[in-house]
Amino acid sequence: MPHPADCSVLEAAGLLSAGELSSEELVRACLERIAGRDGRYGAFIRVYEERALVAAAESDRRRALGTAGALDGIPVALKDLVGIAGLPLSGDSALLEGNVAVEDATVWSRLCDAGMVLVGHLHCGELAYGHWGVNPFDPALSPGGSSSGSAIALAARMVPATIGTDTRGSIRMPAAFTGCTAVKPTFGLLSTAGCIPLSFSYDVVGPMARTAADCAVLLAAMVGRDRRDRMTWCQQPPERRTLAPRAGRAPLAGTRIGVPDLGALLTPGVAGVLDSFCNELRALGATCVPFAWPASPLEGPGEGAPAPWTYILASEAALVHAQFAGREHLYREEFRRLFLPMIRPAATADYLAAQLARAELGERWGAHFDDLALDAVLHPASTGEAYRAAEDVTPEVLARLMLGTWNDTGFPVVSLPAGRSTTDGSPVGLQLAGRPFSEVALLQLAVDVQAASGHHLDLPAGLDGAGSPYAAPPRLECGSGAPFVPVRNPFDAVFPGGATLRG
């Protein structure tokens, strides 16, 4: 049997079901890994050892009674934006040091109902923006952001499952840079109730794990309408089923995958990984369809003006951050340098024009899927390799990323590890994007690919070797900030005020 902390979600579930492993043994193995490794990597901001062991014992009792479900007893860790009633919730910021969540986030309450065991909260970019921690594949590489702790904990084999949030790539960038599998779901598929927001019309919550099959079972546990989040009310009843690799030598026969012609935009190392992955898809029966990547009206600044998407993020973030007025000195240096200049109310005309541009972009991508009869679109997370941790993260560096389009459109994406760059050996992640609410189809495609390849099994070297403790960036520990005041989503206004939902 492998070391329990090395198991994927479904591997661990199988061992638990067979009686070859108890939840307490599994949780203790993860806690020991955290204690032994996290000092080098900086994934966890808080570990709840006593709570986790109590929950594991309760899970073992349910299993003995025959009432345990598929996820019962599996450890999970949450980004420090996901609230749990009675536990600290700081958004990894000195601004909220001492804040305690007053309610459970819906995604956690559903995972808890499934029997999952919380082991801790994870470091992240401050209030969903920025980076934190060490990339287990290479300390010289950035782990990405802002769900960096969520990715590091997986890559360093400390827990089998984590939860992140994605406003403009914050799940997929760290997943791509650290060799993890992850899902940015369709906007409105998973509830964000109980989470600290950054942008009301961009934010999504999503699962991160080692395999697509793991992500599928985690997603199924969290999906569905929520009376506390009206953004979820438009979805159809969720499709809940376990995904397994399809039989035969060509399980992707009839699948059409669009691959944009990015030409000289890609570095040789990333281009090589993409070409090799496309060959793997063809070997499984898929057809790769070349097409021209459509220009986005949200990305390009004109006449020195900010990119239009920043008007949306700025306006919505300003509403959230207004409660921190007078305490701006408590933001981290990275946040002050890169994000604080954006937290300003945009002119109404600029904001509305940007939102209209989003509608235009979504229609444009919908037409591409229709005209080319595509089941998915495949492209790299970044046109270049993971950037160096020593580099100052600048707008120019962030411009390499190919992530924002799917936040602008709200379309779902599965992020997959696809191999390593021959240039510097860094992990390269690819994105499988699809039409809204096509998560099950995308994940089935990903499950089939991972059944035939081993990219997702790539393990960082020297995880238990000697290394320097993580030198965290300076952070003021004030401990006297006002508690976080939840901000009502202004888009609630577009739904009938008297409507009620169960669940």
pLDDT digits (tens, 9 = 90+) for 74-130: 999 999 999 999 999 999 999 999 999 999 999 999 999 999 999 999 999 999 999
Contact 67, 41 (CB under 8 A): no
Give me the DSSP letters along 241-305.
Answer: ----PPSSS-TTTT-EEEEE--GGGS-HHHHHHHHHHHHHHHHTT-EEEEEPPPPPTTT---TTP
Which helix (H) or strand (E) segment holds residue 175: the answer is: helix 172-178
**Which among 170, 199, 415, 426 is annotated as catalytic?**
170
User: Using CA atoms, how far apart are residues 264 and 275, in angstroms rounded to an integer?
Assistant: 14
Q: Which pLDDT belongs to residue 239? A: 72
User: Using CA atoms, how far apart are residues 312 and 223, in angstroms rounded to an integer?
Assistant: 26
**Residue range 431-476, pLDDT digits in tens:** 999 999 999 999 999 999 999 999 999 999 999 877 789 988 877 7
Residue 498 has pLDDT above 60, yes or no: no
Mean pLDDT score, 283-295: 96
3-state secondary structure at position 428 = strand
3-state secondary structure at position 17 = helix
Q: Which pLDDT belongs to residue 391? A: 76
Higher pLDDT, 335 or 379: 379
* 340: in domain: no
**C-alpha distances out from residue 316 to 167, 200, 313, 346, 356, Å:** 12, 6, 5, 9, 16
pTM: 0.96
User: Using CA atoms, how far apart are residues 484 and 427, in angstroms rounded to an integer?
Assistant: 37
User: Using CA atoms, how far apart are residues 98 and 481, in angstroms rounded to an integer?
Assistant: 7
Q: Which pLDDT belongs to residue 503? A: 46
Of 115, 177, 166, nearest in space to 140 by CA = 177
* 330: in domain: no
**Which among 8, 23, 79, 148 is annotated as catalytic?**
79
The CATH number given to whatever domain includes residue 109 is: 3.90.1300.10
79 is catalytic: yes
* 133: in domain: yes
**C-alpha distances out from residue 166 to 147, 336, 355, Å:** 8, 20, 18
Q: Which pLDDT belongs to residue 492? A: 86
Residue 136 has pLDDT above 60, yes or no: yes
Residue 429 has pLDDT above 50, yes or no: yes
Contact 401, 381 (CB under 8 A): yes
Residue 164 has pLDDT above 70, yes or no: yes
Confidence of residue 304 (pLDDT cuts 50, 70, 90): low
Residue 343 has pLDDT above 80, yes or no: no
Q: Which pLDDT belongs to residue 33? A: 98
**Which among 146, 201, 426, 453 is annotated as catalytic?**
146
Q: Is 274 left (phi over 0), alpha (psi -120 to 50) or beta?
A: alpha
Residue with tokens 């009792």: 61
Confidence of residue 220 (pLDDT cuts 50, 70, 90): very high
- Encoding tokens for residue 214? 């793991």
* 494: in domain: no
List helix spans (H) across 322-438: 333-338, 348-371, 395-398, 404-409
The proportion of the chain whose per-residue pLDDT surpasses 90, expressed as a percent, equals 81
Q: Which pLDDT belongs to residue 500? A: 54
Sheet containing 376-380, strands listed edge to edge, beginning at the edge strand earlier in sequence: 44-47, 117-122, 75-79, 161-166, 204-209, 181-184, 413-420, 427-433, 376-380, 256-260, 287-291
Query: What's the structural domain count of the chain?
Result: 1
Q: Up-side HSE of residue 117: CA atoms within 13 Å toward CB?
A: 34
* 153: in domain: yes
* 270: in domain: yes
User: Using CA atoms, how far apart are residues 420 and 5, in angstroms rounded to an integer?
Assistant: 24
Lowest average pLDDT, out of 253-257, 347-351, 369-373, 424-428, goes to: 347-351
Domain interval for residue 116: 4-225+249-295+357-457
* 445: in domain: yes
* 89: in domain: yes
3-state secondary structure at position 75 = strand
**Other beta carbons within 10 Å of 144:** 30
